[in-house]
Amino acid sequence: MKKILSVVLAFSLLTGVNANATSYDDSLYVSEEQYLNGPDYYSEEYQSELDLDDLYRSIQVQSSTDDEQPEQRTLTITGHLQENSYYCGPASAQIVIQHDTGTLYLQSTLASYMQTNSSNGTYVYRLCNALNTYTNKTYYYRLASQYSLFSYLYQNINNNKLMVLNMDMTYVDSTYTSHTGHYVVACGYYKSATGTPQTNKVYYYDPYSPHAGYHWATEAAIINGTNHNAGYFIC
């Protein structure tokens, strides 16, 4: 049933049935999970916004002073445990919003705004919208298969901005055994001397007990976990 729905969704996108979109690449194929988490991702309007953000980032770009030297930076955040099994989205939003504004919103308040529920959790685009509503910064969601996640993390952290990751944690943390999507907050990086996905690392906070706390994972593992879920990261 899921494959059938995926084909129908992809066909709808190609034929312009989605009323929220303007036009799409004829070669596009979108899975059900990818579509539900980012229904407007391939619209011309949203892609234009991403292009403008990339232009702004190119002006603000920061690079290492010596590419052959390891580099590490982490941001100080206040971690919060998610209040139930499907509140990883509200908990992650709560952490980012508090970091950006100093205001601590209830997870239930954010869950209501994002329409979080026990069946679907929190869709990526809704979490991104919440960050744009409750903070003074601008966030976008992007596909890890199209953009360099670590490059965006590197620039975000150097500009005091967090990143929200949505992953299948079994590819990131061996203590996870269930293949379900999960949100964590990326708050630091380690850029190795070689700068490869196998040696670069991402520092993140996991709000889900008993895994809760700060962890390091390789860039490769983070990308793998992201691509095995809906595929998006929020930066």
Whether residue 122 sits in one domain with residue 31:
no
CATH number at residue 172: 3.90.70.10
The whole-number pLDDT of residue 108 equals 98
Q: What is the pLDDT of residues 148-185, one digit of tens each?
A: 999 999 999 999 999 999 999 999 999 999 999 999 99
Structural domain tally of the chain? 2
Whether residue 34 sits in one domain with residue 148:
no
Question: Which amino acid makes up residue 114?
Answer: M
Dist CA 26 CA 114 (whole Å): 31
Assess if residue 135 is contained within a domain.
Answer: yes
Q: What is the pLDDT of residues 83-97, one digit of tens each?
A: 999 999 999 999 999
Whether residue 134 sits in one domain with residue 198:
yes
Assess if residue 57 is contained within a domain.
Answer: no
Whether residue 85 sits in one domain with residue 132:
yes
Structural domain of 22: 2-44
Whether residue 207 sits in one domain with residue 144:
yes
Place of tokens 């203590």: 175
Whether residue 155 sits in one domain with residue 98:
yes
Q: What is the pLDDT of residues 22-81, one digit of tens each?
A: 333 433 456 899 999 999 999 999 999 999 999 999 887 655 445 578 999 999 999 999
Whether residue 82 sits in one domain with residue 23:
no
Q: What is the pLDDT of residues 181-201, one digit of tens each?
A: 999 999 999 999 998 999 999
Assess if residue 54 is contained within a domain.
Answer: no
Whether residue 229 sits in one domain with residue 115:
yes
The whole-number pLDDT of residue 191 equals 96
Dist CA 129 CA 126 (whole Å): 5
Residues 6+ apart with CB under 8 A from 70: 190, 191, 192, 193
Whether residue 88 sits in one domain with residue 167:
yes
